[in-house]
Structure 1
């Protein structure tokens, strides 16, 4: 594949990329690159560290659908930087986002570090009781594909929520299983989906199984085809208006080894060179659920908006503006 270096510039400045590197709490072995982001190493290990720091720092959340005057989502990179990093992040204004927000933001950070990366669109499958099945539907998801100097290609999905991978997944024909959270394994296989009439090109299919003895099941598929910001502006209009779990208030934060279930802006983290994801904490409507690599359990529940706002702060470090808090009034997902 031939890359055009003229289009590899990030929309974010070197100062913004450096601020992000500091914000995601890199392992100590990578801290030297905060001062020189473009010298960040382009290796399998360094890419895995970035991905895990990203998904444990910025939660998957659809709050803008419920807690905003428009009930829509703005995915322009400048808006994303302000939302995720926050001009007042020391006061808890930093947020997360849904797949297009998180992946577009991460895409430009990778570009700012000098990675060869492009975005592609993804077809999800429908779900019943949380389990994917049936047809692959339209493009409602997003993914980044990174090409390393070694020649290895990786899928880097930082926006699939609690069902997403916690490591980069190699794009090769081996389809090897990669350990995910707990006993769960994930992989990519190169194959056709049932609705394809043209058998070439094959698609990459993201699969999971919750234990090694279980059968594989498929979540989504994508092609190695570059999509652009304008493409996702179109897809975001439909996704944020018609899907995006509008029937659920949802927040998911992955937990790094050394982090508490309750959010801390100054967690005690190990100085190890590897970042380990050991669990996840989730807000689903009016409950807080926790999974530490095994069974998911409810640890907290609430029946009022005041209780939900408190849970957002305590478990995710998210504080909404007064305008955002008022915007859910009259909305079908508002609590009493």
Structure 2
């Protein structure tokens, strides 16, 4: 049976990247891709290499919005030239989904992948079984057909935010993949919106399942007996374009009700240490008994680790997450403290002369 197909079995065609081969090569060096080819045209656009690219990307670029508050313009530019200059050439930080996934999608094109981008609706509601509360289409996502001769499609999100995906997932109802560690899994389910007007027939009016939902499951206790499941967002397979993202991006950084207006956020993956990886391996068997994932984890000996942790900036603290364990690693009491934390944990450069631009805005420390 055919699995992982877009509606009507359509193919994604090859589209040239906005970035030059030289820029793509510099990107591979920036993310520390293991043994990169001297010429991007020699890159092998396989599923395994896609997973490695994704993990190198999310350990390099943080999900963050520092420019929104520490700049005179208080915007979040998303043009390809800006993203390349800030993230790759100057290595000054990351972005949120429009930037991180925007850069990644174009670099994938430059490496020979057939890909396009779509959009999703973030769920701001609590964990399941509580009903979702969706925002508008303000989250950028990516679709890839890594095989050179068929239309098998994978979904991915390399934005690095929150409980981010760490590897592609087959676009198939009920598919699951392992997340940062064996204590986390991401899954896809096809569903229908409760308020939808669409049905499979007029006779029984069964709601048409045309919407996808990305779920994440977390082991919340070291013994693996407590599991939390959250619906992260919904998405459709329509292709979205520059005008769509520019409009959505403007709405995100100007909305006074948005978390990005109220906060300076940060989230970044990191490779686990050998000791932390050993602890994960020791608990692997117990956790995987609870896991419905159908794929195996790609092991690449050139990578620092097979598992990831995450740093997160939450209010005035920075937390370090490894599997079900969370520790506070930094407490901030001033803008200088936050500047140093952004640099140390998230690779974000904020110049001292730009710190004053946050004054009077919601995230600012008391002056």
| TM-score range normalised by the length of the shorter chain | 0.7 to 0.9
Query: Following TM superposition, by how much is the alpha carbon of 1:36 offset from its aligned partner in structure 2, in angstroms?
Result: 1.6
Cα distance in 2 for residues equivalent to 1:313 and 1:102 = 18
Residue 240 in structure 1 maps to residue 253 in structure 2: yes
Q: Secondary structure at the match of 2:197?
A: coil
Which structure's CA Rg is the greater one?
2
Q: Structure 1 length as normaliser, TM-score?
A: 0.86
Q: Secondary structure at the match of 2:71?
A: coil
Kindly tell me: are residues 99 and 130 of structure 1, through their superposed partners in 2, closer, same or farther at Cα, counting changes over 3 Å? farther
Cα distance in 2 for residues equivalent to 1:32 and 1:126 = 39
Cα distance in 2 for residues equivalent to 1:133 and 1:245 = 24
Cα distance in 1 for residues equivalent to 2:300 and 2:338 = 33
Match of 2:270 among 237, 255, 265: 255
Query: Following TM superposition, by how much is the alpha carbon of 1:135 offset from its aligned partner in structure 2, in angstroms?
Result: 2.8
Match of 2:76 among 70, 73, 76: 73
Q: Secondary structure at the match of 1:198?
A: coil
Match of 2:323 among 293, 296, 317: 293
Query: Following TM superposition, by how much is the alpha carbon of 1:155 offset from its aligned partner in structure 2, in angstroms?
Result: 1.0
Q: Which residue of 1 aligns with 2:212?
A: 204
Match of 1:145 among 132, 143, 166: 143
Q: Deviations over 1:176-223 (max 9, x none)?
A: 322213412111112223222214461221011213864643221111
Query: Following TM superposition, by how much is the alpha carbon of 1:145 offset from its aligned partner in structure 2, in angstroms?
Result: 0.4
Query: Following TM superposition, by how much is the alpha carbon of 1:164 offset from its aligned partner in structure 2, in angstroms?
Result: 1.3
Q: Which runs of 5+ in 1 are unaligned?
A: 262-269
Query: Any residues of structure 2 matched to 1:129-278 within 5 Å, and which?
Result: 133-149=131-147, 150-159=150-159, 161-173=161-173, 175-182=174-181, 183-199=183-199, 200=208, 202-211=210-219, 214=227, 216-242=229-255, 243-258=258-273, 272-273=301-302, 276-278=306-308
Cα distance in 1 for residues equivalent to 2:236 and 2:190 = 10
Query: Following TM superposition, by how much is the alpha carbon of 1:133 offset from its aligned partner in structure 2, in angstroms?
Result: 4.6
* CA contact 2:126–2:132 (8 Å) conserved in 1: no
Q: Secondary structure at the match of 1:52?
A: helix
- Tell me whether 118-127 or 128-137 shows the greater mean CA deviation: 128-137
Q: Secondary structure at the match of 2:132?
A: strand
Q: Which residue of 1 aligns with 2:65?
A: 62
Q: Which residue of 2 aligns with 1:265?
A: none
- Tell me whether 321-330 or 279-288 shows the greater mean CA deviation: 321-330
Query: Following TM superposition, by how much is the alpha carbon of 1:153 offset from its aligned partner in structure 2, in angstroms?
Result: 1.1
Q: Deviations over 1:78-112 (max 9, x none)?
A: 0111111133x4xxxx2111111111111110111
- Tell me whether 107-116 or 66-75 shows the greater mean CA deviation: 66-75
Q: Secondary structure at the match of 1:51?
A: helix
Cα distance in 1 for residues equivalent to 2:128 and 2:254 = 21
Please tell me the root mean square deviation across aligned C-alpha atoms, in Å: 2.6
Q: Which residue of 2 aligns with 1:264?
A: none
Q: Which residue of 2 aligns with 1:82?
A: 85
Query: Following TM superposition, by how much is the alpha carbon of 1:131 offset from its aligned partner in structure 2, in angstroms?
Result: 10
Kindly tell me: are residues 22 and 133 of structure 1, through their superposed partners in 2, closer, same or farther at Cα, counting changes over 3 Å? farther
Q: Structure 2 length as normaliser, TM-score?
A: 0.79
Kindly tell me: are residues 217 and 317 of structure 1, through their superposed partners in 2, closer, same or farther at Cα, counting changes over 3 Å? closer
Q: Which residue of 2 aligns with 1:100?
A: 98
Q: Secondary structure at the match of 2:261?
A: coil
Cα distance in 2 for residues equivalent to 1:44 and 1:312 = 32
Q: Secondary structure at the match of 1:172?
A: coil
Q: Which runs of 5+ in 2 are unaligned?
A: 1-9, 200-207, 277-298
Q: Secondary structure at the match of 1:205?
A: strand
Kindly tell me: are residues 313 and 3 of structure 1, through their superposed partners in 2, closer, same or farther at Cα, counting changes over 3 Å? closer
Q: Secondary structure at the match of 1:100?
A: helix
Total equivalences in the alignment: 316
Query: Following TM superposition, by how much is the alpha carbon of 1:114 offset from its aligned partner in structure 2, in angstroms?
Result: 1.3
